[in-house]
Structure 1
Amino acid sequence: MTTLQTRPAPVTSIPPRVVARTGLYALLAANAAVVAWFFVQAGFASNPLIVFGRLAGLYGALLMAFQLLLVARMPWLDRRIGMDRLTSWHRRTGFGILWTLLTHAVFITFGYAEASSMDPVNQLVNLAETTEGVLRAIVALALIVVVGAVSGRWARRRLAYETWHFIHLYTYVAVVLAFTHQVAVGTTFTSSPAATTYWYTVWGVALGSVVLGRMVLPLWRNLRHRLRVSAVVPESDDVVSVYVTGRDLDRLPARAGQFFLWRFLTKDRWWQANPFSLSAAPDGRTLRLTAKAAGAGSAALRHIKPGTRVFAEGPYGAFTTLHRSRPQSVLIAGGVGVTPIRALLEDLTGHAVVIYRVSSDRDAVLYDELCDLALTKGAELHLVTGSIVPDKLAPRELARLVPDIGDRDVFLCGPPGMMTAVLRSLGDLGVPKRQIHFERFSLAG
């Protein structure tokens, strides 16, 4: 195969992911310090249980505001951190909220019970009946406990995604109730005009981010671009490509490797959004997605008519060349995970090695396109077929296919089991984590 000479892509000195992650940690730490300062300035109650309970409640409220920022799907964060990692942070932060607010409720209840000589149950009932905002806080905590319970791994594996998502939406109700409780009885919130301004600013920014990222930006982009299906092309018996056109697509900030939440506005599917990656690098005129029939939503794509209106949310994802750290790369795809890999190959500069893992030749979706791209780009292409045992992407096999793999960026996309195995192999080969790029395309919130 003839190798074309291409100019190596610029590499980043500090990974964008590190910049964004450090910024988020610094933001949270700075606000935690400000909360502690306002808490001290407001003075302490005589009962240490109440003191600790109030502080736990304040940090629970701060984590709720931080959680809203994580699920807002703001483009700057999403492009640098990736939605799968934001989802992981979202999960950990959610359980942090649950435990801090439970601590708040228990310590406050026992603290007031100790001061009034009432038992904790009667004390809680008394607070709910006599103190403004406490009943709303109890309802908010109950909702958070339910959401936390259904978000546990045991429950999550047994619930349909639609059921889990519907229950999860009640978190927004809990957030509103908790905020009104804080406004009504929070002594730190009302201790000074500065404290009040600070809390309103924190919650205003958090809620504003959600409205902007989840509502305003998608609506504005879809009104501007007016997306429609231009063609539906079967790639195999169970794989189909959908071409989408619209206005001013050259101004849509989409990159190869990213995905959209696609909502095709037909009578029976307008309410359902599915995440599909771009299977070709955006060219300013057309967007293409390629999907395998794995459920009702993806199977129905084959029957969509040209001209159908499309509502797309995105682009999302950090699986792009923005995160390159080396001039040369390895692209590893499994099954239909080849779609973002094929788009990345089109976008990459520098020498690339493509490894495509499938069970058999007939499962190699878009393989002809990969061959043409590899020839044009001067890339090496390896089609690896066969059963999953023995592991044909084990460390020894990867080192044989790409002897200098430790000096390359690695982009990986495929089924979860394959990705886990390849990540283990890359670790055994000593490939630095900074050079490994993958995304599981989970959705935060």
Structure 2
Amino acid sequence: MTATAAPEVRERLRATPAWWPGAGAAAAASSLLVVTALWAGNGGFGDLTGDPLTATGRLAGLYASDLLLLQVLLMARIPLVERAFGQDRLARWHRWTGFTSFWLMALHIVTITAGYAAGANVVTELWELVWTYPGMLLAAAGTLALLTVVATSMRAARRKLRYESWHLLHLYAYLGAGLALPHQIWTGSDFTGTAWARAYWWTLYLAAAGAVLAYRIGLPVWRNRKHRLTVSRVVAEGPGLTSVYLTGERLAELPVRAGQFFQWRFLDGPGWTRANPFSLSATPRGDALRITVKNQGDGSSRMAALKPGTRVLIEGPYGKLTGESYAGEPVVMLACGVGITPLLSLLGELPYRDGEATLVHRARTDAEGVFRGELEWFAARRGVRVVHLTGPRARAASWLPGGLAATGDAEALRQAAPRIAASRVYICGPEEWARAARAAAIAAGVRPDRVHTELFAW
């Protein structure tokens, strides 16, 4: 599958307008200003002098709710938001927003309880609040759900969890947001105190719920009914590496670019409900798609046993490791291990000139140096310079194998791609490696806005 995408497909998938990211960031920041204004309009600043703990707790609770709903919107898979920011950036913001919201919620609980206790026993007061105030028991259950999400989102916990288990636990964030709503409606004066406050909070809650229903459920259902993907064949590419070829209906109308990924569900038996993110490993065409999966012991281990004809469900496409901003510069691609897959699809789609693309593939062993036949095709037909680097990494902060450690990260990149400073750079691999490769590219003279990364992290 080395053919390029059809010209009409490229024309239909236009670049994201440059003003979208700025407008989205401004809208998120303005929401916090609106919350502050509503709190102030309900006597917030005046209450600071008479009952500072309760006033602070009210504001912290409002910020926590606002950020929690923004967090839901960030990962609601809204196409406009996905195209503006990409999954990598949205995931980082989602994580930061989630932790900030949780700690503000904790501050809200502590300060409100202490303020209501007014010097009495704080534990007794908290018990009374939970058991006697309307909606508080549900809010307590929501807090426990959010605590589960926060605990399993910490890096140490994520390393011990399979992706599917983490993803399932993460859905408790929706439960936490939903269980907090009755408490705000029944006892939250800042939620119901004015018509403006009611309008704002109901709009935000309905927007979050509507986005989840429309884009996490409705859009995938519609696309799957339209395209009806099935497995056409399965090919072993190397040790623990499997390519799955897929066909379907009207695939030319699927709005996907080379370099993007989908969430995949294969209807082959138990476990089909758990989705896994896999990038396209060949340029998307109007009649076929391909993904290539490394066996990492979770749902990816099932790929080799798939049978032709197996139905497939998708969510997506996602990701900004694409050529939408490509303007004809030389191209340099840096891949680590199975990170070569989205870069292979980009090699087939980008309209670079013959001899102006370099692909550097780092692998631990020669056996991991896959797709050599396709890379030879690109070298012969489009003049792509292919550089294979084999061996364990030199150190944690380097993208190089140990044998080239003395060369230096940036200098090794200049040697592999002499025109690196003028190039558009695409990087895909594990998180630490990709960050080291990005730092090397910038040190070698590449403008930061011309460096595009896709991290194998969640």
TM-score of the aligned structures, taking structure 1 as reference length: 0.90
Whole-angstrom CA distance in 2 between matches of 1:128 and 1:20: 43
- For 2:371, the equivalent position in structure 1 comes to 366
Whole-angstrom CA distance in 2 between matches of 1:356 and 1:35: 49
Conserved in 1, the CA contact under 8 Å of 2:281 and 2:291? yes
Conserved in 2, the CA contact under 8 Å of 1:265 and 1:308? yes
Offset at residue 326 of structure 1 (A): 6.1
Which of 42, 49, 52 matches 1:48? 52
Conserved in 2, the CA contact under 8 Å of 1:395 and 1:425? yes
Conserved in 1, the CA contact under 8 Å of 2:239 and 2:367? no
- For 1:428, the equivalent position in structure 2 comes to 443
Q: How does 1:334-413 map to 2 (within 5 A)?
A: 334-350=336-352, 351-387=356-392, 388-391=401-404, 394-413=409-428
Conserved in 1, the CA contact under 8 Å of 2:431 and 2:456? no
Offset at residue 17 of structure 1 (A): 9.5
Offset at residue 442 of structure 1 (A): 4.1
One-letter amino acid of the structure 2 residue matched with residue 219 of structure 1? V
Whole-angstrom CA distance in 2 between matches of 1:385 and 1:214: 40
Offset at residue 42 of structure 1 (A): 1.8
Whole-angstrom CA distance in 1 between matches of 2:226 and 2:338: 31
Offset at residue 441 of structure 1 (A): 4.5
1:89 to 2:93 alignment: yes
One-letter amino acid of the structure 1 residue matched with residue 386 of structure 2? L
Whole-angstrom CA distance in 2 between matches of 1:123 and 1:356: 61
The total of aligned residue pairs comes to 428
Whole-angstrom CA distance in 2 between matches of 1:362 and 1:122: 64
Where do 5+ consecutive residues of structure 1 fail to align? 1-9
Residues 390 and 237 of structure 1, relative CA distance in 2, 3 Å threshold: closer
Conserved in 2, the CA contact under 8 Å of 1:137 and 1:181? yes
SS for the counterpart of 2:324 is helix
Cα deviations by residue, 1:346-389 (Å, 9 ceiling, x for unpaired): 11112312222234444321121122123322332223334521
Conserved in 2, the CA contact under 8 Å of 1:54 and 1:108? yes
Conserved in 1, the CA contact under 8 Å of 2:258 and 2:342? yes
SS for the counterpart of 2:403 is coil
Offset at residue 341 of structure 1 (A): 0.8
One-letter amino acid of the structure 1 residue matched with residue 377 of structure 2? D
- For 1:197, the equivalent position in structure 2 comes to 199
1:67 to 2:71 alignment: yes
- For 1:4, the equivalent position in structure 2 comes to none
- For 1:261, the equivalent position in structure 2 comes to 263
Conserved in 2, the CA contact under 8 Å of 1:84 and 1:441? no
Conserved in 2, the CA contact under 8 Å of 1:17 and 1:323? no
Conserved in 2, the CA contact under 8 Å of 1:317 and 1:441? no
Conserved in 1, the CA contact under 8 Å of 2:429 and 2:456? no
One-letter amino acid of the structure 2 residue matched with residue 435 of structure 1? R
Cα deviations by residue, 1:229-259 (Å, 9 ceiling, x for unpaired): 1112222343222111111111101110011
Conserved in 1, the CA contact under 8 Å of 2:431 and 2:457? no
One-letter amino acid of the structure 1 residue matched with residue 403 of structure 2? P
Whole-angstrom CA distance in 2 between matches of 1:372 and 1:55: 61
Whole-angstrom CA distance in 1 between matches of 2:364 and 2:164: 31
Residues 128 and 273 of structure 1, relative CA distance in 2, 3 Å threshold: closer
Where do 5+ consecutive residues of structure 2 fail to align? 1-9, 393-400
Offset at residue 139 of structure 1 (A): 2.5
Whole-angstrom CA distance in 1 between matches of 2:104 and 2:344: 45
Residues 271 and 135 of structure 1, relative CA distance in 2, 3 Å threshold: closer
1:414 to 2:416 alignment: no
Offset at residue 154 of structure 1 (A): 2.7
Residues 153 and 442 of structure 1, relative CA distance in 2, 3 Å threshold: closer
Offset at residue 289 of structure 1 (A): 0.8
Residues 127 and 268 of structure 1, relative CA distance in 2, 3 Å threshold: closer
Q: How does 1:42-441 map to 2 (within 5 A)?
A: 42-44=42-44, 45=47, 46-114=50-118, 118-324=120-326, 327-350=329-352, 351-387=356-392, 388-391=401-404, 394-441=409-456
One-letter amino acid of the structure 1 residue matched with residue 62 of structure 2? L
SS for the counterpart of 2:282 is coil
1:39 to 2:44 alignment: no
Q: Percent identity?
A: 40
Conserved in 1, the CA contact under 8 Å of 2:164 and 2:275? no
- For 1:3, the equivalent position in structure 2 comes to none
Cα deviations by residue, 1:145-171 (Å, 9 ceiling, x for unpaired): 333223222333333444433332222
Residues 72 and 431 of structure 1, relative CA distance in 2, 3 Å threshold: same
- For 1:6, the equivalent position in structure 2 comes to none
Residues 391 and 213 of structure 1, relative CA distance in 2, 3 Å threshold: farther
Which stretch of the first structure deviates more once superposed, 204-213 or 393-402?
A: 393-402
TM-score of the aligned structures, taking structure 2 as reference length: 0.87
Q: CA RMSD in A?
A: 2.3
Whole-angstrom CA distance in 1 between matches of 2:162 and 2:383: 45
SS for the counterpart of 1:321 is coil
Conserved in 1, the CA contact under 8 Å of 2:322 and 2:346? yes
- For 2:397, the equivalent position in structure 1 comes to none
Cα deviations by residue, 1:57-94 (Å, 9 ceiling, x for unpaired): 11111001101111101222223322122111111111
Whole-angstrom CA distance in 2 between matches of 1:372 and 1:38: 62
Conserved in 2, the CA contact under 8 Å of 1:263 and 1:272? yes
- For 1:7, the equivalent position in structure 2 comes to none
One-letter amino acid of the structure 1 residue matched with residue 98 of structure 2? G
Residues 128 and 378 of structure 1, relative CA distance in 2, 3 Å threshold: same
Offset at residue 217 of structure 1 (A): 0.9
Whole-angstrom CA distance in 2 between matches of 1:144 and 1:323: 38
Whole-angstrom CA distance in 2 between matches of 1:296 and 1:128: 40
One-letter amino acid of the structure 2 residue matched with residue 118 of structure 1? A
